[in-house]
Structures are given as structure tokens and as C-alpha cells.
Structure 1
Amino acid sequence: MKVPFSGGCACGSIRYACSSEPLAMLNCHCRDCQQSSGAPFASGVVVPRASVDVTGSPQEYAVRVSSGLLVTRSFCAHCGSPLFTAGEARPDFMSIRFSSLDDSSGFRPALDIWTSSAPSWVCLDEALPHFAQSPSTQKQA
């Protein structure tokens, strides 16, 4: 992925620029990502929070996940575009939603997580590692 990269919401109220190389690019199949994306999984780019400059004021929604920790979802209050995910487990990092990237051509997911929640009809890329839950807590499936 070319750095810096940028993106924003569909209506243009919120913009961001990231000055860091992605630490990871992934697909998450957890139920929360399904609900917040309106799709069977959410794809994201994990970066250090300090490397992202945001203009505009995203709305936030926090949910307690199975670990008991909070995960915060940021989205545009005007158009509803999902933008960022951040959590208490790793507060110095955030995930930027694939759908918000200005240029998504460099996005290459390296793994699928929470595949235990994936619908049976989802076609997982067998070339990627799959984890039933989070890779920090589960072995590869």
C-alpha cells in the first residue's frame, strides 16, 4: 500500500490521512463487524493511532466484546459510512475500514479472523491463514 494514504466518508464530512505503513490488513468475521458493516465481514488496515490525522468529527459507538473489553466504532453521523475501529486491548492501534479508502487498489488482506462467526456460505481464501477467533488468543484454524 502506498504511504501516505487517505480516505473518508461518502459525504466528505470526515477525512483522514495516514502516514504509516500498515501493520496488518485483514478480514474480520466477528458478529460485531458483521453488524457494523452490514456485510458478512469487515476488512481493515491496522495502523498506529498516532499516524492518522482526522478532520471532521466522527460519531462513536462502543460495545463490550467477548473478552470483556470495549471496542469503539467510528462512523459518519451524516452518511453512516463506517470509518475506524479501536479497542482497549491495543489502545495505540486502530483499524481503518477498507470501504473508506480513497484508493483501495493496494489493499491485500493477510489473514481472516473470527472465522468461527462466518456464515457457512462465505468463501474464504484458502491461501490466507484463518483464525477461529483473534490470532492473539486462538491457534490458526
Structure 2
Amino acid sequence: MAYTGRCACGAVTATIAAEAPIAVRQCWCRQCQQVAAGAHTTNAMFLTADVTITGTLGTHAYTAASGNTLTQSFCAACGTPVMGQVSARPQFRTLRVGFITPPHDLTPQMVIWTDDAPAWAVFPEGIERHARQPPPPPTS
């Protein structure tokens, strides 16, 4: 299955030439909570070479708690979160699942940065959890 993506206004689109993501994760880091208005983000990781984005992106880069530079990208017109890029892992693009066009089969396989989650957070049962940043996923 290949994937596509679209922001709320249609100004930014994506084509993802992959049969499946490398990983799908819920992230509870503080920065993701800010992006998601207080909850987690749900993100699908794909190889950079498989992702083609068209349209104008706005970006914001900062040093994340992991110590890496994280660049958040969003539609410059409507603000829809599109993806994150981590300086330590340029081989991946981490797309926000809400940006990816449904229907799709993307469900979280892992929850990360659980130490930053608020006391009321609920984690899916039966999936891997990491208190902070997990090791990078394999690319094959």
C-alpha cells in the first residue's frame, strides 16, 4: 500500500512510495504535547527517499530533549502539522498520522517519551513503551 497526505486546506500534499512505514509511534515528549494541544502526536516513520512533499512548508527548529535538532514542518497556509525531521536520523521523515490521507492501516506500535506524559495519559495496552528516546528503528 502506498500512502498519500494532505493538509486541511490542500496546499501541501505528499506521496509516500512505501508499502509500510518503518514504525508508527505515539510520542509524549513535551514538544509533541505542545504541537498536539496537550496530548501526544502519532507519527509514521518512512525512509526519506520514499517521501515527496509538494507545497509550501513553514518550519520551526529547536534542540529537543534528546539533544538533537528537531525541525517541525507544517502547512504555511493552514498550519496543519506535516512532519518532523531529526538531525541524528536524516534517513527518516516522521509524518503526522493526521496528515496522511485515510483510510490507512497506521496504528501505533510503540509509545515513547512516557516520562513526559501527564498523569492522566492513557497508553495503548500491549505495545512497547520507552521512558525517553528509543534506539533508531532498522531501515530494512
TM-score norm. by structure 1 comes to 0.91
Q: CA deviation at 1:38?
A: 1.5
Report the RMSD for the aligned CA atoms in angstroms: 1.3
1:75 maps to a residue whose letter is: F
1:13 maps to a residue whose letter is: A
2:8 corresponds in structure 1 to 10
The SS at the match of 1:35 is helix
Q: CA deviation at 1:136?
A: 1.8
1:74 maps to a residue whose letter is: S
Q: Count residues with an aligned counterpart.
A: 135
The SS at the match of 2:129 is coil
Find the aligned partners of 1:28 and 1:68 in 2 and give their Cα distance.
Answer: 16
The SS at the match of 1:96 is strand
Q: CA deviation at 1:66?
A: 2.1
Q: CA deviation at 1:97?
A: 0.1
Q: Deviating runs (4+, > 2 A) in structure 1?
A: none
2:52 corresponds in structure 1 to 53
* Percent identity (aligned): 32
Find the aligned partners of 1:63 and 1:130 in 2 and give their Cα distance.
Answer: 25
Stretch moving more, 34-43 or 113-122: 34-43
Equivalent runs, 1:59-74 vs 2, <5 Å = 59-74=58-73
**1:35 corresponds to 2:34:** yes
Q: CA deviation at 1:30?
A: 0.1
Find the aligned partners of 1:88 and 1:76 in 2 and give their Cα distance.
Answer: 21
Q: CA deviation at 1:16?
A: 0.3
Find the aligned partners of 2:52 and 2:104 in 1 and give their Cα distance.
Answer: 21
The SS at the match of 1:78 is coil
Q: Any unmatched runs of 5+ in structure 2?
A: none
8 Å contact 1:22–1:45 — kept in the other structure? yes
1:124 corresponds in structure 2 to 123
Find the aligned partners of 2:6 and 2:108 in 1 and give their Cα distance.
Answer: 20
The SS at the match of 2:33 is helix
Find the aligned partners of 2:67 and 2:54 in 1 and give their Cα distance.
Answer: 31
8 Å contact 1:98–1:104 — kept in the other structure? no
Find the aligned partners of 2:14 and 2:102 in 1 and give their Cα distance.
Answer: 13
8 Å contact 1:60–1:73 — kept in the other structure? yes
1:85 corresponds in structure 2 to 84
2:3 maps to a residue whose letter is: F
Q: Any unmatched runs of 5+ in structure 1?
A: none
